[in-house]
Amino acid sequence: MSLIGELLIAVLVLLGALFCGLGAFGLVRLPDVYLRSHAATKSATLGVLCVLTGAFLFFFFYINIVSIKLLLAIVFVFITSPVAGHLNGRAAYRSGVPLWKGSVQDDLKPVLEKNGTNQSGSKDK
């Protein structure tokens, strides 16, 4: 079990580091706040979850401890990171940050116009 466990833990930690590195690369290279938010939330969340899962498995297999703190951290990151990314994108859109010139469509604009609200969220008169 030790060789399989070590390989599984190593793969999870390396995969997590790769995802975090890709997220950092996306933050630097992507053109607008919406795409950067996507890179930060998706890849960084998956990267952190892989690293924390690898740490949990290490403690479980080699130290014989079920770490409730790591399980809570996994659940907390899994829930809060995508929600925070969504709220950052929504706040940017409602404050008037323009989309990248290469964006193909804006799905939120027709919905706001249909509801009679402007970008700031207040009702049009």
Give tens-digit pLDDT for 40-92: 898 889 999 999 999 999 999 888 999 999 999 999 999 999 899 989 888 88
Residue in the block written with tokens 């998706």: 42
Cross-strand bridge partners of residue 123 = 117
For residue 53, which of 98, 10, 4 has the smallest C-alpha distance? 10
- pLDDT score, position 48: 94
CA atoms lying within 13 Å on the CB side of residue 2:
2
Hey, what are 9's tokens? Answer: 């833990």
The burial class, CB within 10 Å (0-12 / 13-18 / 19+), for 7 is: exposed
Give tens-digit pLDDT for 3-28: 888 999 999 999 999 999 999 999 89
- Tell me: pLDDT of 124 over 90: no
The band of 93, judged by pLDDT with boundaries at 50, 70 and 90, is confident
0.85 exceeded by pTM? no
Output the DSSP codes for 84-98: HHHHHHHHHHHTTPP
Task: Give, rounded to a whole angstrom, the gap between the first and last alpha carbons of the chain.
Answer: 68
- Single-letter amino acid, residue 55: A
